[in-house]
Amino acid sequence: MMKDEISRRRTFAIISHPDAGKTTLTEKFLLFGGQIQVAGAVKSNKIRKTATSDWMDIEKQRGISVSTSVMEFDYNGYKVNILDTPGHQDFAEDTFRTLTAVDSAIIVVDSAKGVETQTRKLMNVCRMRKTPVIIFINKMDREGRDAFDLLDELEQELQISVRPLSWPINQGARFEGVYNIYENNLNLFKSDKQRVTEKVEVDIRSAELEQMVGEGNAKKLREDLELVEGVYPEFCVDDYLAADVAPVFFGSALNNFGVQELLDCFVKIAPSPRPVEAEERTVCPEEDKFTGFIFKITANIDPNHRSCIAFCKVCSGKFVRNAPYLHVRHGKQLRFSSPTQFLAQRKSTVDEAYPGDIVGLPDNGTFKIGDTLTEGEQLHFRGLPSFSPEMFKYIENDDPMKAKQLNKGIDQLMDEGVAQLFVNQFNNRKIIGTVGQLQFEVIQYRLENEYNARCRWEPVHLYKACWIESDDAEELDNFKKRKYQYLAKDKDGRDVFLADSSYMLQMAQEDFKNIRFHFTSEF
């Protein structure tokens, strides 16, 4: 029973550069999973139906995803958990963390733009963790680049071998459809955002093909397919699972084309939940006892209730509602009476969850990102770093009557990992450090709309924040005396050195040989 539940789970993230069509693809998956009946046109201003997976007001206004959404649905006997991640680089950290909680990934690439910087970075994270990826080349109904050129670029830029499992017949205005190499059938394209296109079984060598797509297209398709078979080795599922080969599909998510082929193939070949590394040992999904870790915290899914939700990925055993579990960092037993699972905004209470599932646990400040829950064993899952921020501003209260709300808001947003808070030891001012400019706007907007607190930003000139530690107490003490106006504490009370130039950082590293300078919080 347990084995069956594990083997039918598919937990994956959809990642890409902004605007490649990731949220649209997520929606279409939900459409096939029967979770939504009509896909919302994300970009249209006339109909204010926004994408199902973007539920923060600011996301609806901007048309971008700023925090990872978790959604689940059943499809053909499989239980699929999707994590839709923000593509915008200012929120990259959220995406990197999400990748620790998934077993595989789908990368969306825009057919006209090809591989972009953000895609490269995310692929590096997948490569580090040996996460299998499938690539979906989107927007085939617009003029784009030649399919073979795109494949070459994917191989070079993402440093992974590719194998097309579907092939486009022309593109842009002349786009006729795709030939599904994986299942050997032809799918003809009709531009329609709501309905799904029919499949046609056709023998590639027969004259039937000409009637379907015209003489020129038929000839080119046969030549292309011959070339594909000649250039690329035969597709082997084991190579994909070992993260050595990435299968490639072509289509148009907006027009619901090529999406079902991707989904059908994905549920068949994608990995079910895999063993997870903890500091003490490797945890296998089939184990009897429950273990899980928190990879994300979101405040205010429901603005009427000031509550946070901690997202817990189940790694092994079965999670049961109301059962007592050990919060390893606090050493306390906790029970959860209303754990939830999500379809973006709609959430429902669950009684049990299996490895690979993502459970939302109500949180009033008990969790931090990276916390472990077990049935009593002391386990620490690893691999949830915060990166050293690159942009800094002082945060100041703009409404003296609301100091309490502001502090509460800042604490909750920092626990979510939206940004990092440093308190300057010299003047006690709060400094917020982020990876990108857009996060400052999001913080200001959310403080005002969710906590009813107003803040203003003041410039602070800093180059880098890095965590410091040393085994030589005397030298550390000496360093703190000399650099006292550049020292701060992070929210966990650790020492942070705020360097105001790369030269200053370099000199500090040369002058104090026994001090270790860290650029991620995991050391």
Task: Please give the domain boundaries of the chain with CATH numbers for all domains.
Answer: 2-269 (3.40.50.300), 276-374 (3.40.50.300), 391-518 (3.30.70.3280)
- Enumerate the β-bridge partners of residue 392: 433
**pLDDT score at 41:** 36
Query: Which region among 83-97, 167-181, 206-220, 282-296 has the lowest average model confidence (pLDDT)?
Result: 83-97
**pLDDT score at 388:** 67
The Cα-based distances of 56 to 213, 390, 393, 492 in angstroms read: 44, 25, 24, 28
Read off the pLDDT of each residue in 176-190 and give the average, rounded to a whole number.
72
* Alpha carbon distance 379, 331 (integer Å): 11
**pLDDT score at 338:** 82
* Alpha carbon distance 54, 42 (integer Å): 9
- State pLDDT tens for residues 255-280: 777 788 888 888 888 888 888 877 78
Give burial (CB, 10 Å; 0-12/13-18/19+) of 202: middle
The pTM score is 0.71
**pLDDT score at 345:** 47
- Enumerate the β-bridge partners of residue 459: 393
* Alpha carbon distance 325, 328 (integer Å): 9
Is 514 in a helix, a strand, or coil? Answer: coil
- State pLDDT tens for residues 421-449: 899 888 889 998 887 677 788 788 888 88
